[in-house]
């Protein structure tokens, strides 16, 4: 993914990534609320931070194994746990309570991910190269 350097210091290289919409070529994208692109800000620790300056276009990469780990943590694990939670509650209290409590479970899982973000973001290392 390409990004633009916004700051370069010994603390890290700050990069702004523009994530384009997946449906930009759709005929209905102007009427759809999901079609807008988003900007993400990341900081990459790079020992050669002096070689980057504001405005440089860089390519940001993540090892495939780390990407798969991120997908597992963000999508697969909560899906599996959510289904298990739903059926455990369903057997005891019925459909309505299990559906509502599963939604609450997903909200708590998202909150937990947000709270442990500072601990887990060091497990994922990006590499950047000038373009």
Short-list 12, 20, 17, 21, CA closest to 2:
17
3-state secondary structure at position 30: coil
Cβ pair 19, 38 in contact under 8 A = yes
List of residues 6+ apart from 3 with CB closer than 8 A = 15, 16, 17, 18, 42, 57, 58, 59, 60, 128
pLDDT per position in the chain (131 positions), as tens? 788 999 888 888 889 887 665 555 665 555 554 445 577 888 888 888 888 888 889 988 888 888 888 889 999 999 999 999 999 999 999 999 999 999 999 999 999 999 998 888 777 778 888 88
Tell if the pTM clears 0.85, that is, is over it.
no
């Amino acid at each position: 993914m390409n990004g633009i350097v916004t700051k370069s210091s010994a603390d890290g290289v700050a990069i702004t990534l523009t994530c384009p919409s997946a449906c930009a070529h759709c005929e209905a994208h102007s009427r759809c609320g999901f079609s807008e692109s988003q900007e993400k800000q990341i900081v990459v620790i790079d020992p050669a931070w002096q070689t980057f300056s504001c405005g440089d276009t860089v390519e940001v990469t993540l090892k495939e194994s780390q990407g798969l780990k991120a997908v597992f943590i963000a999508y697969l694990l909560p899906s599996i746990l959510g289904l298990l939670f739903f059926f455990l509650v369903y057997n005891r209290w019925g459909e309505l309570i299990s559906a509502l409590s599963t939604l609450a479970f997903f909200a708590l899982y998202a909150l937990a991910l947000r709270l442990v973000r500072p601990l887990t973001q060091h497990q994922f290392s990006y590499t950047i190269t000038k373009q």
